[in-house]
Structure 1
Amino acid sequence: MRSGSEFVRGVRFGGVACAVAALACATLPAAGAQEAAGATCEKPVYLTLDTGHMGIAPLVADVLKRQDVRVTFFAAAERTQTDGDSLDDHWAPWWKARAAEGHEFASHTYDHAYWRGDVKGTPPSFRIKPSAGPQTGKESVWRAADYCADIRKSSDRLAAITGKKPLPLFRAPGGKTSPALLAVAKDCGYAHVGWSPAGFLGDELPSETFSNQKLLAQALGSIRSGDILLAHLGIWSRKDPWAPANLEPLIVGLKAKGFCFRTLRQHPDYRAWIASHP
């Protein structure tokens, strides 16, 4: 699992109480009405969720269903609290249920494969260090074809267990890439998706110094229309999990500010790419 310190951007904190979000929830229209109105919403945000230990996955699914929010999941075969990985048969029904609810899926590389550097030469190759799978923690050189195969393996597994074709998108673990890596991925049919600075929700940061209340205040005070938001389905290192405390108050709070939630299929930067890679 990657370190949250890799993601810290300019942080701006303000005061907010979860009770405020709860009050806002009571004043919002029903979830279905909120989504119906979203067709004319001028303030979209794009919530994305990467895999992790999956311990909070059932809670996340309940919140998204209750709030009638669709998201984009980026999946890798990461180690889970159920002694398997996040794309194994144990979790297959969970993913299939999310597909039935209208969520979108994309690759996070199958082996959660970190780019560590380019290797000089032609054709391009890269120093890669997976944090999942049989080569966990071992750095080696991957050719372009190897990296593409790892992106595709996750996408193919998602298609097999959900019955839904994933988007032609991927997210590199840690957001770590190079121009050469991005070019290779595009050549094999995958555009990279990062996240907005304000969209880093902080669930990988240490809870001892970044409390859930601080992170919620930061997000509600800084997220803007068009932002791509990032959280995870379980972080091993964080002692006070983010999602049980913050996911629903964040969604409710953003709705109260007039935001609506969209998947990356509807993102203006990716619509044309997705349409051209059916």
Structure 2
Amino acid sequence: MPDNNSSIIFSRGDIYSREIALTYDCGVERGYAAEILEVLKTHEVRATFFITGEWAEKNADLSQRIVSEGHEIGNHSYNHSDLTKLSLEDLIRQIAEADNAIYKVTRERPRPLFRLPFGSYSRQVLYILREMGYEYCVHWSLEIQDFRRRTASSIANQILQNVRNGDVILMNALGKGTAEASGLAVPELKKQGYGFVTVGNMLQKTNEMRFGKRQINMNRA
């Protein structure tokens, strides 16, 4: 059973299910989130976006669009600080201010999904996250280094050559080739029989398998 005192690290879904979750981090700059959303809309795919509080404030239009087009949002801290290097007071502030900023813009809470900046965590970070309503720290099983200067074809090939059942795929909205690569990879993945789910959907199915019918309360007010 999971530790009820700490946020749970989640990085992969059911390895016997041909489903994957596309996740996009929006941390610093506006990036190419608009182009990514266009690709997802064209191919009728839902994804999970982890956004910082600052990004939500500076890009209210895109934050609202993410929600209105049926995608899922998670908290990615307020300004992408390494939470393990902060005082307790600053740690709490990073989580709370991001939560409030995202809610103010989208009218939806990003709880219970959190993605750690740099993937860095400590026992204290996991404990505080759980105390503040973030039951899951969403890691990944396939990381695409698309924020570097790479071509769309190389990014798409990395996905297609390495994808596995249940993968949580990490991409960054900052990368120029991310949107085009998504457009190249998604139809090929569909041909291979993969379905696309949000992290919340994946968690729900995983929890039902492990613990029976256990409803996850998404986007709590």
Question: What TM-score bracket applies, with the shorter chain setting the length?
Answer: 0.7 to 0.9
Give identity over the alignment, percent.
26
The offset of 1:148, in angstroms, is: 2.7
Equivalent residue pairs, number: 196
1:97 maps to which residue? 65
> Closer, same or farther in 2 for the Cα pair 1:55/1:184, shift >3 Å?
closer
Distance in 1 of aligned mates of 2:163 and 2:178: 17
Q: Write the deviation string for residues 127-149 of structure 1: whole angstroms up to 9, x where unpaired.
A: 23xxxxxxxxxxxxx11x43133
Distance in 2 of aligned mates of 1:270 and 1:161: 30
1:195 maps to which residue? 140
The offset of 1:277, in angstroms, is: 8.5
Distance in 2 of aligned mates of 1:63 and 1:262: 15
Structure 1 segment 148-159 matched on structure 2, within 5 A? 148-159=92-103
Q: SS where residue 275 of structure 1 aligns?
A: coil
> Closer, same or farther in 2 for the Cα pair 1:245/1:66, shift >3 Å?
closer
1:222 maps to which residue? 162
TM-score by length of 1: 0.63
> Closer, same or farther in 2 for the Cα pair 1:185/1:112, shift >3 Å?
same
Structure 1 segment 38-77 matched on structure 2, within 5 A? 42-51=17-26, 52-77=28-53
TM-score by length of 2: 0.78
Indicate the larger mover: 168-177 or 46-55: 46-55
Report the AA paired with residue 202 of structure 2: H
The offset of 1:232, in angstroms, is: 1.4
1:275 maps to which residue? 217
The offset of 1:245, in angstroms, is: 3.2
Q: Write the deviation string for residues 236-271 of structure 1: whole angstroms up to 9, x where unpaired.
A: xxxxx2214311111111111111111111123578
- Structure 2, unmatched stretches of 5+, are 1-15, 209-213
Q: SS where residue 167 of structure 1 aligns?
A: coil
Structure having the higher Rg? 1
The answer to whether residue 127 in structure 2 is matched with residue 183 in structure 1 is yes
Q: Write the deviation string for residues 76-107 of structure 1: whole angstroms up to 9, x where unpaired.
A: 14xxxxxxx5222x521221122111111111
> Closer, same or farther in 2 for the Cα pair 1:42/1:203, shift >3 Å?
same
- Structure 1, unmatched stretches of 5+, are 1-40, 78-84, 116-125, 129-141, 236-240
Distance in 1 of aligned mates of 2:170 and 2:164: 14
- Alpha-carbon RMSD across the aligned residues, in angstroms, is 2.4
